[in-house]
Every structure is written in structure tokens, then in C-alpha cells.
Structure 1
Amino acid sequence: MSKLEIKDLKVTVETEDGPKDILKGVTLTINSNETHAIMGPNGSGKSTLAYSIAGHPKYTITGGEVLLDGENLLDMSVDERAKAGLFLAMQYPVEVPGVSVANFLRTAKTAIDGEAPKLRTWIKDVNGALEKMNLDPAFSQRSVNEGFSGGEKKRSEIAQLDLLDPKVAVLDEIDSGLDIDALKVVSDGINRFAERDDKGVLLITHYTRILRYVKPDYIHVFVNGRVAETGGSELGEELEANGYDRFLKASV
């Protein structure tokens, strides 16, 4: 059973005026077979949470712990966190010119598992993962994210999730920039992953529309660097109807 525990996490970022507090004590637990959605307005710290968990050097941890199966991720390098079972799908996936999707995926899988996948079965696995995301097998020969549409980038991220098979997936605004067809394909991929044994999903989003297809067990409203409220589907319905006004007023 996998468990991601975020305990009183505090994070700052350097600005022209000095360090600025972004996360102000975030506590959250994602157990196996749970999907959690974090929703909040722009600037509330949602993406900071994702990148801090993953180990982005821009962010300075000033307090708290992030435990994956009892091991403190904050003591690990970025690659060690991935090997421990953490996956981050980025809001803005970066381009890697000259590195094919196929080579990137095989290198990543080798690094995480400690041994290279068998080539014959790996090609079949890659093509299958791409097909499930409505991507042609020839897609694997393109450079990572170079010239990809927004939908191709996000579908490629979910194909990576499928193949790398982490314990916990942190998906940072995976729905941004998607049309309705691509949103359904991406949502199906998330649901397939979440249905595997002992997997956890932390889904970060601005909008409730993805929650029509990915049904979270818990919804957390994130405001001013903190979890302001936690609930179920009824909380998503309130946000759809009324937005974040109630939570923003309470945080002042």
C-alpha cells in the first residue's frame, strides 16, 4: 500500500524583494487507490506544491515533510524521487530537441527500474500506450514535445504515466489547453492508472470540467498557500456554481 504524506509543508521563492512565502503549512495525505483534486484560483500555490514535491530548485523548503511510504522525499534528489515512485506531469512540458520520445521513455524506464526493458516487448508496450492516447506509433520518433500541439503534449504525459507506472502521480493542470475530445482521452488515461492496485493521484486543476470524467475521492480548495476546505463532489458543485469568492473572503 502506497501513501504520500505532506506534513505542514512551507515553501518560499526568491523574488526581487527577497524571499516570498508561497506555501504556508500544507498538510495532505493521499492513500493508495485514492484520487485527490486540488482546486484554487491563480496564484494560490497549487503548482508550487507540485514542483516542490518533485524537487524543483526554484523553490526553497522552509518547513515540513513529504513522505512517500515513510521515506522523506525532501532528502532525495529529483531522480531519486522518481525512482521512489513519484511522477509529475507538468503544466508546461518542456521541449527536448534531438531526443526522440522512444529514446526518452526507454532511458527513463531503465533509470527507474534499474535495468533496461526488453526491446521487443518494450516497443509493443510503447505503441500500445500511444494508441490508448490516440497517438500514432510514428509519434515515438518525434523529438520530445518539439512542435507538439497542447493536446499532444498532455496525451504524451499520460502515455509516460502509463509506461513508467509510478506509485503516485502528481498531475499539474493536465487539462489546460485541451479541447473536449483530448480532455476525454486524457481523463480515460488517468482513470486507467488510478484503477491499478496501490496507486494514488493528486490532480491539480483550475476547472471543474475534468471532474466530470475523473471522479476524485476528495476535493481540496487551495487558497493563499493553504488548504482552505476539503470535501467531496458537493464541493466541486459549489465551485462550479459560485467560484472561489467564499474562500477568498475567508482567507483575507
Structure 2
Amino acid sequence: MSTLEIRDLQVSIETDQGTKPILKGVDLTIESGGIHAIMGPNGSGKSTLAYTIAGHPRYNVDGGTITLDGEDVLAMSVDERARAGLFLAMQYPVEIPGVTVANFLRTAKTAIDGEAPAIRGWAKTVNEHMDQLRMDKSFSARNVNEGFSGGEKKRHEILQLELLKPRFAVLDETDSGLDVDALKIVSEGVNRAHETSDLGVLLITHYTRILRYIQPTHVHVFVNGRVAEEGGRELADRLEDEGYDRYLTAQA
């Protein structure tokens, strides 16, 4: 069993108005097989947490620790974090002109595993996963995310998740911009990855609709850079009924 542990994490960014604190002492422990939903209003620090785990240079860690099985994640470069088993599905996946999906996926797999997968077996595996995600085979020849719809971009993120087989996946608003059919397909992909590899999941979302398809074992409410409340699935159900007003009122 692997453990991703976050202790007293404090993070800020530089703005035109000076240094702005975002995370103000976050504690969180995710173990293999756990599905942790992070919910909260806009500006509460959810995406900051995701990008800090991944190592985005914009975010300054002012205090606290992130460890993966006791290893200091904050001391790792971005590529070292990926090879250690951390994966980020971005809210807004970027376009990479001139790089085809096929080349991108095989290059990423080679970098993670330290050796290139056999071409014939790899192509078969990629096609099988694309079929499950309802992706046309022509996607392999297209440039990464270039001209993709929102749903296509998110399916491509989950395709990467299933092929790269990380230990922990941070999914930053993967449900954003998806219609019902695409949401179901993407959720099925996350569930497959979770069930076949004991994947630990940190699922960031504003809404409970994705939690109808991906059942969380833990729910954490983020407000003003802190964890305001924690619970099980029942907490998400309560948030759907009540919203975040009572947390915001308490912070005022």
C-alpha cells in the first residue's frame, strides 16, 4: 500500500498586488485504493493543491510537506514526480502543436517506465483503451489536444491515466464542460483505472454529479485555503442540498 501525505501545506503565488497566500495549512492523507473528493467554492484553493502536488513553478511552497511513501515530493522535479507515480489530469489540457497523440503517449510511457514498450503490443493496448473511451482511431494521428472538443480533451487525459498506470491521480475538475454521455465515459475510465491497479484518486470538483459515477470514500470541503470539514459520501449529498453558504458565513 502506498501513501500520499500532505501536512500543514502553505502555498502562495505572486500577483501584481504582491504575494497572495492560497493554501493556509492543508492536512490530507490519501492511501492506495482511496477516492478522495475535494469540493468547495471558486477560489478556495482546490486547483492550487493539484498543481502544487504536480510541481507547477508558479506556486510557492511556504511551509509544510508532501511525501509519497516517506519520500519528499517537494524535492522532486516534475518528471521525477511523474516517475514516482503521481499523475495530474488538468482542468484545461494544453495543445501541443506538431506532436501527435500516438507519439506523445509512447514517449510518456517510455519516460515513466524507463524503456520503450514493444510497438505491436503497445498499439493494441492503446486501441483497446481508446475503444473503451469511445475515441476514434483517427485521434492517434492528430496533434495533442489541437482542435479537440472539451470532451475529447478529457477523454485523452483519462486515456493517459489508464496507459501510464500511476499510483495516485489528481483529477482537477475532470467533469468540467462534459455532457452527460461524456461524463459517464470518463467516469468509467477512472473507475477502471481504480479497480485494476488500486489507484489512489484525488478528485477535485464543484459539483456532486460526477460523484454519482465515481463513488468517493472520503469527502473534504475546501474553504479559504483550508479543509473546513471532512466526511463520507453523505457530506457530498448534504452539500448538494445546502451548498457552501454556511462555510462562507463562518469564514466572514
* CA deviation profile, 1:97-145 (whole Å, cap 9, x unmatched): 1100010000000001000000010001111111111001121110000
1:168 corresponds in structure 2 to: 168
Determine if contact 1:155/1:186 at 8 Å carries over to the other structure.
Answer: yes
Q: Does 1:89 align with 2:89?
A: yes
2:47 corresponds in structure 1 to: 47
| Residue identity opposite 1:181 in structure 2 | D
| Residue identity opposite 1:223 in structure 2 | V
1:133 corresponds in structure 2 to: 133
1:114 corresponds in structure 2 to: 114
- The Cα shift of 1:251 comes to 2.0
2:5 corresponds in structure 1 to: 5
* CA deviation profile, 1:199-231 (whole Å, cap 9, x unmatched): 200000011000111000001000000110001
Name the count of aligned residue pairs. 252
| Residue identity opposite 2:5 in structure 1 | E
| Residue identity opposite 1:239 in structure 2 | L
Determine if contact 2:90/2:171 at 8 Å carries over to the other structure.
Answer: yes
**Structure 1 ranges of 4+ moved more than 3 A:** none
SS of match in other structure, 2:219? strand
CA distance in 1, matches of 2:198, 2:66: 18
Q: Does 1:158 align with 2:158?
A: yes
SS of match in other structure, 1:196? helix
CA distance in 2, matches of 1:233, 1:201: 15
CA distance in 1, matches of 2:162, 2:229: 31
Normalising by structure 2, report the TM-score: 0.99
RMSD (CA atoms): 0.7
CA distance in 2, matches of 1:70, 1:200: 16
| Residue identity opposite 1:27 in structure 2 | D
2:98 corresponds in structure 1 to: 98
- The Cα shift of 1:195 comes to 1.0
2:18 corresponds in structure 1 to: 18
CA distance in 1, matches of 2:13, 2:82: 23
1:220 corresponds in structure 2 to: 220
Determine if contact 2:165/2:197 at 8 Å carries over to the other structure.
Answer: no
- The Cα shift of 1:149 comes to 0.2
Determine if contact 1:11/1:61 at 8 Å carries over to the other structure.
Answer: yes
Higher mean alpha-carbon deviation, 82-91 vs 128-137, is at: 128-137
- The Cα shift of 1:196 comes to 2.5
CA distance in 1, matches of 2:249, 2:243: 12
Unaligned runs of 5+ in 2: none
CA distance in 1, matches of 2:199, 2:126: 21
Determine if contact 1:2/1:199 at 8 Å carries over to the other structure.
Answer: no
CA distance in 2, matches of 1:198, 1:150: 28
Matches within 5 A, 1:197-216: 197-216=197-216
1:185 corresponds in structure 2 to: 185
1:29 corresponds in structure 2 to: 29
CA distance in 1, matches of 2:161, 2:39: 22
Determine if contact 1:130/1:159 at 8 Å carries over to the other structure.
Answer: yes
Determine if contact 1:2/1:32 at 8 Å carries over to the other structure.
Answer: yes
Unaligned runs of 5+ in 1: none
Normalising by structure 1, report the TM-score: 0.99
Query: How many percent identity over aligned positions?
Result: 69
SS of match in other structure, 1:57? coil
CA distance in 2, matches of 1:139, 1:198: 28
- The Cα shift of 1:239 comes to 0.7
1:240 corresponds in structure 2 to: 240
